[in-house]
Amino acid sequence: MTSLFPPFKTSNRNRQMVLAHRPVGSPQASDFALRETPVATPQDGQFLVRNLYLSADPVQRGWASNPALTPIDAPMRALAVGVVADSREPTIKAGDVVYGFLGWQDYALATRADLLSHIPEPRAPLSTYAGVLGMPGVTAWLALNDIAPPSEGKAVLVSTAAGTVGSVVGQIARQAGAHVVGLTGSEEKVARCVDRFGYHAAYNYKSGDLAMTLAQARPEGFDIYFDNTGGPILDTAIRNMARFGRIIQCGTAATPSWSPPPTGLRNEREILMRALTWTGFVIFDHVDRFGEAIDQLTDMLLAGQLNHDEVVESGMDQVTAALEALFSGTNAGKTLIYIGED
């Protein structure tokens, strides 16, 4: 069991990466500042977590821009995996692994409401609980299986197909017997989709005529489209759906700003004529179901059926650069910052 845990030091100081300025657009390293406070002591109902893996996620763009979610001078709202150091919450004990809204800091004072998952007996390396067994993996699992379960004979299209969410979607769909096609943004990612994540085919949406590519890839149309991008890719995918197809809207990465409101092709006629069903999925509506999804994903992972990539940087000072890299699309896997040895 111990091999799943990385080594970590303890301290009585708590370094925090706080939001110094409200970002304009995507957050930059210069929007943050490092500060130190004493480690706090849990009160009744609270527990203290030693964070080990800080997560950098695209959703933090929205969190950083929202004063209600991340006040100025507060630690950046962030997901993290850590080990409980001390607890005055009866259902959580010291040594338990937890994952949730623990912030960019060494130590988090938390309550159960801050957690997405509580893993008293981890079966996989701790870092995976922030990635393939964390928000991205659970998003893929629940959104796909709840909204449009894949099965033999169905054709599934996935955008950001090599991403942390998309790569799990592709593998679940493939194992369910579906024909799985991925869209991604570079030739290197196309190769990873096919070689590592089991897509039957993958295409670089930046090269060639996407409408023609999709029509040739699946002349009879796609039954399921798992969309993380929105924008023109979505418009083209809608026009290549089979009748009675299902679209899962899980992200809108293609649109950098919604102010002023962007325009695009009208899609209601496609929804109507193809009798499509288009559903939005927000993972935070489904926190009560993380355990169930993690159990299933862990089985896949331990059976060698779930490839995944992690990019793990070391050191608290790397966290802001890691977030910047996310928005430039240069990352190649789930981005984590290991801070246990600091």
Whether the Cβ atoms of residue 308 and residue 167 lie closer than 8 Å to each other = yes
Nearest approach, Cβ of 281 to a copy of itself (angstroms)?
A: 7
Measured in whole angstroms, how far is the alpha carbon of residue 247 from the centre of its chain? 19
**Is 234 a residue that touches a copy of itself (CB under 8 A)?**
yes
Distance CA 91, CA 168 (A): 31
- Per-residue x/- mask for a copy of itself, residues 250 to 289, rule CB under 8 A? xxx--x--x--xxxxxxxxxxxxxxxxxxxxxx--x----
CA-nearest of 147, 184, 188, 148 to 166 is 184
Nearest approach, Cβ of 245 to a copy of itself (angstroms)?
A: 10
Pick the piece of the chain touching a copy of itself (CB under 8 A) from 200-208, 224-232, 288-296, 331-339: 224-232
Nearer to a copy of itself by Cβ, of 75 and 245: the residue is: 245
Q: Which two tokens stand for residue 100?
A: 């949730």
Question: What Rg do the C-alpha atoms of the chain give, in angstroms?
Answer: 20
Question: 86, 106, 227, 310: which one contacts a copy of itself (CB under 8 A)?
Answer: 227
Nearest approach, Cβ of 261 to a copy of itself (angstroms)?
A: 5
- Per-residue x/- mask for a copy of itself, residues 122 to 151, rule CB under 8 A? ------------------------------
**Is 237 a residue that touches a copy of itself (CB under 8 A)?**
no
Compute how many other C-beta atoms are within 10 angstroms of the C-beta atom of residue 174.
18
Distance CA 310, CA 334 (A): 5
3-state SS, residue 236: helix
Nearer to a copy of itself by Cβ, of 83 and 144: the residue is: 144
Angle at 309 (CA atoms; ends 303, 314), nearest 5 degrees: 125
Interface residue list for a copy of itself (CB under 8 A) = 227, 230-231, 234, 249-252, 255, 258, 261-282, 285
